Amino acid sequence: MFLSRAKLIRLVAFDVDGVMTDGGLFLSDSGEEFKRFNSLDGHGVKMLRASGVEVAIITGRTSRCVEMRAQNLGITHVYQGAAHKLDALVELLDKLKLSRDVTAYMGDDVVDLCVMRHVGLAISVPESPELVRQHSHYVTRRNGGHGAVREACEMIMSAQGTLAAQLAPYLNSCEPV
């Protein structure tokens, strides 16, 4: 069921805390927020974008480091401080003229359920609450912030037949410079 849904995906939206990070929040005495992102996840996002799938971030929190990470990955659809994540998704779908059936969302907590229940492909991580995992079409083997995003990206590309093309440059360019 996951693969048939994944074949249709044209947009993947990601939550941040607990998905793109391990969910830990580091706050300095001055109130500055720090997050740890996984470089493997980042390259998975870049390959997914290069394969023709739109990528977005929809998160309830607002932080400069998320904005910087999105810029680094070439993600232009960023919704921070989204108290109602489904509203942000509907706005994005309207902007991109896409249907919910060709949309995936990766979340990790109950605040993501409205969005997850609205899309064609709902993905979560193993440490998600049971209720969230029950409403997921796919639960990654890797934990949030530790390769879960990369796993989801590669599964979608594999289902769409684009993964080999994204990996080929790394296998075919192994000559010394």
**Alpha carbons 147 and 166: distance in angstroms, whole number:** 17
Query: What's residue 175's pLDDT?
Result: 67
Q: Map out the domains of the chain with their CATH numbers.
A: 2-172 (3.40.50.1000)
**Alpha carbons 69 and 146: distance in angstroms, whole number:** 16
pLDDT of 176 strictly over 70 = no
What is the pTM (predicted TM-score) of this model?
0.94
Query: What's residue 11's pLDDT?
Result: 98
pLDDT in tens, 110-159: 999 999 999 999 999 999 999 999 999 999 999 999 999 999 999 999 99
CB 65 within 8 A of CB 34: yes
